[in-house]
A and B are shown apart, each in its own frame.
Chain A
Amino acid sequence: MLSPRISRMKERHLNTIPCITAERLVLQTEAYKKFAGEATPIFRAKVVQYIMEHMTTLILDDELIVGTATNAYRGASLFPEFQSSSWYISDIDDFSTRKKDPYYISPEDKKIILETLPYWEGKSMEDLADKVMPAHIKELEKDDIICVGLENGVCGETTCNHDKIMELGLRGYMEECQRNIDAHLPQTREEQEKVDFWNACIIQCQGLITYAHRMADEAERLAGECGDPERKKELLRIAENCRVVPENPPETFYQGLQMIWFVHLYFYIEVCTTACGFGRFDQYMWPLYKKDVIDEKNITRQEALEMLESFYLKTNEVYEVRDNWYATSFAGYPMWQTLMVGGQTRDGRDATNDLSFLCLEAASELQTRQPIMALRVWEHTPEELFRYGCRMVQEGQANPGFFSDRRGIEISLEKGGTMEEARDWAIVGCTQPAPGGGGAEGSPDAGYVNMGKMIEFVLHNGVDPATGKLMGLQTGDPEKFQNIEEVKDALKKQIIHHYDLIRQGYNLMQSIHMNRYPVIFASMVTEGCVEKGKPVQNGGAKYSTCGVFVTGPANLADSIEAIDQCVFRDKTVTMKELIHACDTNFQGNERLRQLLLNKPAKYGNNDAHVDGVYREMMHYIARTVQEWPDARGGHYAFGIDSQTMNLSHGAVTGALPDGRLAGEPLCDASSPMMGRDVHGPTATVKSVASMVDAELHEGALYNLRFDPHGVQGEKGLEILEGVIKTYFEDGGQHIQINVVNNETLKKAQIKPEDYRGLMVRVAGYMAYFTELDKSAQDAIIYRRPHLASAE
């Protein structure tokens, strides 16, 4: 049961529409003018420090943990150094009315924004990217054939070294940087860059400490005005906390929460970042929890729970404003703030503790979009913890996601981690495992390749049938292919060619980020950067990878299988006829489409042949691209994840040999194509597991939906547990389960006001179903729910 305080706060959260405010933009513009001329890292640090010195200190009623990203609750800022002011201006009236991830803007803020933005004209990363990106890559992006990251976002997905933060406080980092500065008299450009970076770190620490002290002042001011003695006490305690953290190590569990929130909040104020994970929260918070709740009994478990829930609510207050395309491809205001529990310790013992349970309990009571709960599962995970997570899922909470410890460890070793770091693995990004210790930097979303278009290109010798233009590689006359191996070879060449274009584009973007957009604070708390004197953009992190992903892998495998069966093995149709049928969207040839749908095996039904095709293609991509270095000395890492880009990539893709009609969504992440998994969830789980292994460095995101009738009662719980355990035993890496029926989802579409709290797991993140645009909602309804037997 939520406490009255938390209930009120949750209600406020659900009743507030996210908004865009002008404050940070104005402060940033002032600071840009004031500090121009400084060395880049110092300049950027001073701008952020200036913002922290002047931004509104906002403390809301009932709050126990404080700190907001803007001067408004659920507010978002604009970042015109990254994103182009041109679409900010052109879209400004559209933000509040657009269907995808809308934001309210008050008339006053709008006026200020429009007055301020002209200064930024042509100055953003996005404007620059538009100038320097090769025309061919831009065209492929415009047509939704590939996409390249970093054009208007930040390089860096931060899962920082929380242990060190808790141990040293920012004071410790500042001292370390100062020691480094004192020990270096720069004699080279590289050395000077290091000193600049360390100085920038110190400046940014000061910025956050100043902000915390200003919050303390504000809390004391409010306490002075407060008539309610209870709240007055709380406010004074908040003030006390803000004078200790983040400058010093936290002394209590409560301060620990405030510490972590300040640090994470700062990531979002510094730059328009996402996917900053809370890492192994139940581990680094455990010593303080144990001291306060168990050993010294300074607070009760119930009090700790309320503090934790207050902290969770905070994580729902950060946003990244995105353009229309991005809001479609990543629908539902995702921020991918993963909070992990369970798993094993660095020396290989089970790591579960009472806080692991409390973390799940808080998520279960609160049921908000964030944080995203991640439960690490291994052979010694206590049955009660696993069952707790399964029960949450059974109740339809779509949280936590389950992660195989075995795969997490294997992938972390593949990424170069030591055995201890591997056991301590953490999610960097949305579902991707990386070595623990806070030194892994997984630059997000280097790009996605649309597999649907790759098939189209191969079937038209490089020409895009949608436009008639030669867009891809000329892989040969498709009518001359003699067997399926030749088709697969052509596809492999075509696909790799496009990943290579992503690499070219992405390395170019990375190089620009290195010189212009070093992220200082997030780098400082990432292991390796202070030591090397380099931000993560320049390869400062101990382990650097860039994730590349794929949309439509099931459509690829199913199409290959369909061509193999119908053109080469059965010879029911010629390649020419098949291509013509696809080009005409099967108009007048529904019979052929039915053959393609029903005769060839489809991925997701535990068919060894087509599952093997899927595996072969995905592993070919992984092996090839993972050899490639990125611009900063890291390497590319491949994984299967589509976010909601299967909608935008599907919209531009014509009919395919797997029987999918033109414009329909492509498959979701590593799931089978919607509606093609006709042998129940066990067969699907087997198929998906059969293609995952440690060679996919970014893993494979798997969404499974059950109808509630299929998994009710104690037996239903056992079934869910059995499904997850089998998936992991067979090699699966990640699974997220939605238990909700179509009627509920359809009712929520008709009467959204009654279903504001209904959450669904979209793609490694959670969204309120009713906040999704209709097409994204339909795609979730379309994911096949699995019923229990009813022959």
Chain B
Amino acid sequence: MEALIGSIQKFSTEDGPGIRTTVFLKGCPLNCRWCHNPELIDPEQELIRVPGRCIHCGYCMKICPEDAVFVDEENNIDIRRDRCTRCMRCADECWSQALKPVAKKMTVREVYEEALQDRSFYQHTGGGITISGGELLLHREFVEELIDMGEKDGIDFCLDTSGYGDGEFLFRMASRSNVSNILFDIKAMDDRKHQELTGVSNEPILKNLRRLAEDPATRRKIHLRMPLIAGLNDGDEDIQAVALEIEKLGITQVTILPYHDFGISKKRNIGGMQERFSPPAEARLEEIRRALEKTGAAVNISGTPGK
């Protein structure tokens, strides 16, 4: 079984307990306006540019059979996406890695072995592997095989999901003994808003979330994560609705992910445009944290010292 892997990030400390290795799968059914990893939305291989690394040797322009590589008015390397066939010959010639494929095709075994290099760190810190993306529910077979492999070695898994996809599969994976946390993203409770922000309805997402919450064994593994973007989903109504859901479902762990703009340049570098937003002000974040805490859940703000 193979999949396109965006990256395997070691020393990952924000995606679950302990020191972890996060595996980023490529492909996501959502298209969030602020997406942090826009290069992982398209399930197909893509070409990404890193203009800062370009040394202007010109080899990419010479090799491109479609004449798709050019230098823009700011002297940055760029791609005419309408012509590019993603043949990657420019990337092969680019020794400075200013042009490169977004992802790498890897087998489950390869991914697992690379992650397992850090096994002793997992053992000392209660860490493990986090599967993220992209959306892992687009890669069910791959995910299941990876978890199977880890089960034999007692490796802990966290699943980082948008919740959009095969709910039965998600429930089945969440029930596995070596899956400890479901990092479940909630963007908005209002369906119209959700569609506007992410391009999809939140109906299947909430259904899957409620399914997980029904069973106490999977409920305690739910770790709700909420990206917060000022003016988009941080209003009192948004927060109240989420708080209500948290309370209703008995969710005990919540992390607030304040917006950051890392997505903008990545989106540009794969040939798109992303709007710039801002995170809620610190005082507002604190208000939201307190509001969510009233549900009885433990609430962290990502990037600040917490438990």
- Report how many residues on chain B are interfacial, defined by Cβ distance under 8 Å: 36
Give the residues in chain A near B22, CB-CB below 8 Å.
Answer: 789, 791
Partner of A680, one of B11, B55, B262, B305: B11
Whether the pair A715, B13 counts as a contact (CB closer than 8 A) is yes
Asked if B19 is an interface residue, CB under 8 A from chain A, the answer is yes
Among A590, A686, A729, A730, contact of B55 (Cβ-Cβ < 8 Å): A590
- The residue in chain A whose Cβ has the minimal distance to the Cβ of B36 is A791
Q: Give chain B residues whose Cβ lies under 8 Å from the Cβ of A716.
A: 13, 305
Q: Which of B237-287 contact A (CB under 8 A)?
A: 260, 262
Q: Nearest-CB distance from B34 to chain A (Å)?
A: 15
Residues of A close to B303: CB separation below 8 A: 709
A84→B52 CA distance, assembly (Å): 51
The residue that B18 contacts in the complex, of A710, A722, A790, with Cβ under 8 A, is A722
| A709 to B11 CA separation, bound complex (whole angstroms) | 13
Chain A 564-600 interface 0/1 with B at a Cβ cutoff of 8 Å (1 = within): 0000000000000000000000000011101100110
Contact A682 B121 (CB under 8 A): yes
Q: Which residues of B contact A725 (CB under 8 A)?
A: 124
A723 adjacent to chain B (CB < 8 Å): yes
- In-complex Cβ contact of A719 among B13, B37, B59 (8 A): B13
Tell me which of A592, A598, A730, A790 contacts B262 (CB under 8 A): A790
Contacts of A719 in B (CB 8 A): 13, 18-19, 125
A716 to B305, CA, bound (A): 8
Interface contact A722-B95, CB-CB below 8 Å: no
**Known pairs A718-B18, A789-B22; A713 contacts B95 (CB<8 A):** no
- Interchain CA distance A719-B67 in the complex, whole Å: 49
A129 to B127, CA, bound (A): 57
CB-CB under 8 A for A715 and B306, given A591-B95, A682-B118, A722-B19: yes
Q: Is the CB of A683 within 8 A of B10?
A: yes
Chain B proximity mask over A678-721: 1 for CB below 8 Å, otherwise 0? 01111100100000000000000000000001101111101101
Once the chains bind, are B10 and A679 in contact (CB under 8 Å)?
yes
A726 within 8 A of B: yes
- Residues of chain B with a CB closer than 8 A to A713's CB: 304-307
When the two chains form their complex, are residues B14 and A789 in contact, meaning their CB atoms are under 8 A apart? yes
For the complex, give the distance between the alpha carbons of A680 and B125 in Å. 16
Min C-beta distance of B185 to chain A, whole Å: 15
Taking a contact as CB atoms under 8 Å apart, the answer to whether A681 and B59 are in contact is no
Binary interface profile of B, 94-134, with partner A (CB < 8 Å = 1, else 0)?
01110000000000000000000110110111110000000
Contact: A791 with B55, CB < 8 Å? Answer: no
Determine if B96 and A598 form an interchain contact, defined as CB atoms under 8 angstroms apart.
yes
Inter-chain CA distance A702–B174, complex, in Å, is: 41
Q: Nearest Cβ in chain B — how far from A505, in angstroms?
A: 43
A716 to B125 Cα, complex, angstroms: 10
Q: Among B24, B118, B127, which residue has the most Cβ atoms of chain A within 10 A?
A: B118
Q: State A719–B127 Cα separation when bound (angstroms).
A: 10
Q: How far is the CA of A715 from the CA of B13 in the complex (A)?
A: 9
Task: Look across to chain B and name the residue whose beta carbon is closest to the beta carbon of A791.
Answer: B9
A569 CB to closest chain B CB, in angstroms?
Answer: 16
- On chain B, the residues within 8 Å of A598 by CB distance are 95-97
Helix, strand, loop or mixed for chain B's interface? loop
A interface size (C-beta, 8 A): 35
Q: Is A788 an interface residue (CB 8 A)?
A: yes
Q: A210 → chain B, closest Cβ, in Å?
A: 55
Interface string of A772-791 (1 = CB under 8 A from B): 00000000000000101111
Chain A residues with CB under 8 Å of B123's CB are 726
**Shortest beta-carbon distance from A588 to chain B in Å:** 11
The answer to whether B96 and A791 touch across the interface, beta carbons within 8 angstroms, is no
Known contacts A591-B55, A682-B118, A729-B120; decide if A715 and B95 are in contact (CB<8 Å).
no
Report how far A654 CA is from B121 CA in the complex, Å.
38
Q: Which of A735-791 contact B (CB under 8 A)?
A: 786, 788-791
Task: Report B291 CB to chain A, min CB distance, Å.
Answer: 22
User: B125 touching A722 by the CB < 8 A rule?
Assistant: yes
The answer to whether A683 and B117 touch (CB under 8 A), given A598-B96, A789-B12, is: yes
Known: A682-B19, A682-B118, A722-B121. A788 touches B11 (CB 8 A): yes
Check B14–A788 contact: CB distance below 8 A. yes
Considering the complex, give the chain A residue whose CB is closest to the CB of B97: A598
Closest-CB distance, B274 to chain A (whole angstroms): 16
Specify the chain A residue showing the minimal Cβ separation from B22: A789
Cross-chain contact B307 with A682 (CB below 8 angstroms): no
Known contacts A594-B96, A729-B120, A790-B262: A718-B14 contact under CB 8 Å: no
Contact B11 A682 (CB under 8 A): yes
B15-A789 in contact (CB<8A): yes
Min CB distance B60 to A, Å, is 11
What is the CB-to-nearest-CB distance from A532 to chain B, in angstroms, rounded to a whole number? Answer: 46
A709 contacts across to B, CB distance below 8 A? 303
A158 sits at the interface (CB 8 A): no
> What 0/1 pattern do residues 152 to 189 of B give for CB contact below 8 A with A?
00000000000000000000000000000000000000
Select B305's contact among A592, A606, A714, beta carbons within 8 Å.
A714
| B residues less than 8 Å from A592 (CB atoms) | 95
- From 650 to 694 in chain A, residues with beta carbon under 8 angstroms from any chain B beta carbon are 679-683, 686
Q: A residues within 8 A CB of B120?
A: 726, 729-730
| CB of B195 closer than 8 Å to a CB of A | no
- Closest residue to A572 on the B side, CB-wise? B95
A-B contact pairs, 9 of them (CB 8 A): A598-B97, A679-B10, A712-B304, A718-B126, A719-B19, A721-B124, A722-B18, A722-B121, A789-B9
Q: Given A682-B10, A789-B13, 15 other A-B contacts at CB below 8 A?
A: A590-B57, A594-B55, A680-B9, A682-B121, A683-B10, A713-B306, A713-B307, A714-B307, A716-B305, A718-B18, A718-B126, A719-B19, A786-B11, A789-B12, A789-B14
B-binding residues in A (CB < 8 A): 590-592, 594-595, 598-599, 606, 679-683, 686, 709-710, 712-716, 718-719, 721-723, 725-726, 729-730, 786, 788-791
